[in-house]
Amino acid sequence: MKLDQQNYLERRKQLLAQMPEGSVMVIAAESLKTRNNDAEYPFRQSSNFYYLTGFNEPDALLVLARGAANLVTLFCPPRDPEMEIWTGYRAGPEGCVKRFGADQAFNLDEIDERLPKMIDGASQLLYPIARDKALDARVKGWLETLGRSVRSGAVLPQTLADSDRLLHEMRLFKSAAEIEVMQRAATISATAHCQAMLTCKPGINEFQLESVIQAYCGSQGARFQAYTPIVAGGANACILHYIENDQPIADGDLVLIDAGCELDNYASDITRTFPANGRFSEEQAAIYDLVLKANEACIEAVRPGTCWDSLHQLSVRILTQGLIELGLLQGDLDELIESGAFRRFYMHRIGHWLGMDVHDVGDYRVDGEWRKLAPGIVTTIEPGIYIAPDDHSVEERWRGIGVRIEDDVLVTEQGSKVLTAGVPKLRSEIEALMQNAG
Ligand code: GLY
Ligand code: MN
Ligand code: MN
């Protein structure tokens, strides 16, 4: 499942329409990164670059020029039949025009000669300022080249501006085509979580469950995860970014899995927590139901017009109230919220935007105010409670319990749609699924 060239063309058009008259924007592709010696990490294209091109080759450069006739230029790795025996097919300039819709395209080695001319006299030069050292240095070089030619009539761009402002605002609002891909990614990940629940039994190692997730996603064409999976048995769930995933899971442990695949460079992000032996203990059930209550109430509140921060505040109120009822916090609800006492057990926020990046781009505050949700935004809702194994201020029976329940939620005109509904989260449903294992 992939977006087609029409999608990328429309995005470039939309972006160009928002750029100031006479401005030029430069967006760089990602480079290959060495893993060790001459082995490389799997290539992952820059999200901004891919968003505008769908072009998956390293080191390329996109130049958008806003003028009487807008001009889209791609610089790309050259065709080289001998190299292509090693690296695989390259589109080359011809392919960039024919298949990727550029108005013109050149080999990478022409960048430093052509770029100064392309930004000569621009009203504004837009690029991701101070995000990418190599690009910062290149832009400086082009400006210096131009500066040396002023007596020959060259004119430096009047202003420099950050390209991310326009681009990230666009990326925050997902089109129907993007939502289709994100739904598919979420559905694959949801089934992968079900497979992990079905496979789990006491004594299994965390890495075995991780491999179940990866194998299933890979078998559906989602070869890469959107982030390193967290597979945490027992108290490991209290380490928020636990990625060692190499411990045996004991009878009586809860298992927290936070994993989501990437499809056509779109992320999914799901957390489920379930009992290794298929039955929640009394304490596990109490914490689980409280987290679920916050998860469901916050999802219920997702709709156009809801203030982003109010979702977090809602989760804080529900979780703090529940912690008081369970005897894990003592005192007045408002005072405990005001003092931040809940942070001992709930130390992160309710969620984040989701899209091409798992922690997706787009401002959370607009003109000094928290953003209001609007159709096309996808957010995660992921409350959690984590009781440290060495927290001697609570009774021993609570210690080492960590629960997070995370869903991906699309804001629609009518309200919301949960993209990750394919994996159960009611205790009774999880227990029923696990009883059916084997
Ligand atoms: N999996 C990363 C997160 O939940 O934010
Ligand atoms: Mn998340
Ligand atoms: Mn997550």
Domains (ranges, CATH) in the chain? 5-170 (3.40.350.10), 173-437 (3.90.230.10)
Coil/strand/helix, residue 294: helix
Bridge pairing between strands 23-28 and 124-127 = parallel
Which residues contact residue 193 at a Cβ distance below 8 angstroms, ignoring those fewer than 6 apart?
A: 213, 257, 259, 270, 272, 423
Segments of 83-196 assigned E as strands: 104-107, 124-127, 159-162
Q: Look at residue 438 in the predicted model and tell me its pLDDT.
A: 58
Q: How far is the centre of ligand 2, averaged over its atoms, from the C-alpha of 227 (Å)? A: 10
- Give the ligand 1 atom nearest the CA of 382: 4
Best mutation site among 261, 380, 420 for ligand 1 pocket (most ligand atoms within 8 Å of CB): 380
Protein residue with its CA nearest to atom 4 in ligand 1: 269
In the chain, DSSP finds a helix count (H) and a strand count (E) of 13, 21
Ligand 1 within 6 A of 270 CB? no
Q: How far is the centre of ligand 1, averaged over its atoms, from the C-alpha of 380 (Å)? A: 9
Ligand 1 within 6 A of 210 CB? no
User: pLDDT tens digits, the chain, 438 residues: what are they?
Assistant: 689 999 999 999 999 999 999 999 999 999 999 999 999 999 999 999 999 999 999 999 999 999 989 999 999 999 999 989 988 899 999 999 999 999 999 999 999 999 999 999 999 999 999 999 999 999 999 999 999 999 999 999 999 999 999 999 999 999 999 999 999 999 999 999 999 999 999 999 999 999 999 999 999 999 999 999 999 999 999 999 999 999 999 999 999 999 999 999 999 999 999 999 999 999 999 999 999 999 999 999 999 999 999 999 999 999 999 999 999 999 999 999 999 999 999 999 999 999 999 999 999 999 999 999 999 999 999 999 999 999 999 999 999 999 999 999 999 999 999 999 999 999 999 999 999 875
How confident is the model over 289-319, as pLDDT tens digits? Answer: 999 999 999 999 999 999 999 999 999 999 9
- Give the ligand 1 atom nearest the CA of 226: 1
Coil/strand/helix, residue 210: helix
The rounded mean pLDDT for the chain is: 97
How confident is the model over 200-222, as pLDDT tens digits? Answer: 999 999 999 999 999 999 999 99
How confident is the model over 12-38, as pLDDT tens digits? Answer: 999 999 999 999 999 999 999 999 999
Ligand 1 within 6 A of 226 CB? no
**Which tokens is 152 given?**
């020959």
Q: Look at residue 110 in the predicted model and tell me its pLDDT.
A: 98
Give the bridge partners for 416, in sequence order: 411
Q: Look at residue 68 in the predicted model and tell me its pLDDT.
A: 87
Q: Look at residue 86 in the predicted model and tell me its pLDDT.
A: 87
pTM for the whole thing? 0.96
Ligand 1 within 6 A of 242 CB? no
Best mutation site among 193, 378, 382, 408 for ligand 1 pocket (most ligand atoms within 8 Å of CB): 382
Q: How far is the centre of ligand 3, averaged over its atoms, from the C-alpha of 273 (Å)? A: 12
Ligand 1 within 6 A of 431 CB? no
Q: How far is the centre of ligand 2, averaged over its atoms, from the C-alpha of 260 (Å)? A: 9
Best mutation site among 189, 256, 350, 359 for ligand 1 pocket (most ligand atoms within 8 Å of CB): 359
Q: How far is the centre of ligand 3, averaged over its atoms, from the C-alpha of 321 (Å)? A: 24
Q: How far is the centre of ligand 2, averaged over its atoms, from the C-alpha of 390 (Å)? A: 26
Give the whole-angstrom CA distance, residue 272 versus residue 180: 23
Burial letters 351-369, b for 16+ CB under 10 A, else e: bbbbbbbbebbbeeeeeee
How confident is the model over 175-197, as pLDDT tens digits? Answer: 999 999 999 999 999 999 999 99
Dihedral class, residue 402 (left if φ above 0, else alpha if ψ from -120 to 50, else beta): beta
Q: Look at residue 21 in the predicted model and tell me its pLDDT.
A: 97
- Give the ligand 1 atom nearest the CA of 358: 2
Q: Which residues surround ligand 2, an ion (CB under 5 A)?
A: 269, 380
Q: Are 315 and 383 in contact (CB under 8 A)?
A: yes
Q: Look at residue 150 in the predicted model and tell me its pLDDT.
A: 92
Q: Look at residue 83 in the predicted model and tell me its pLDDT.
A: 87
User: Which residues are the active-site residues?
Assistant: 38, 241, 258, 269, 348, 352, 359, 382, 386, 404, 406
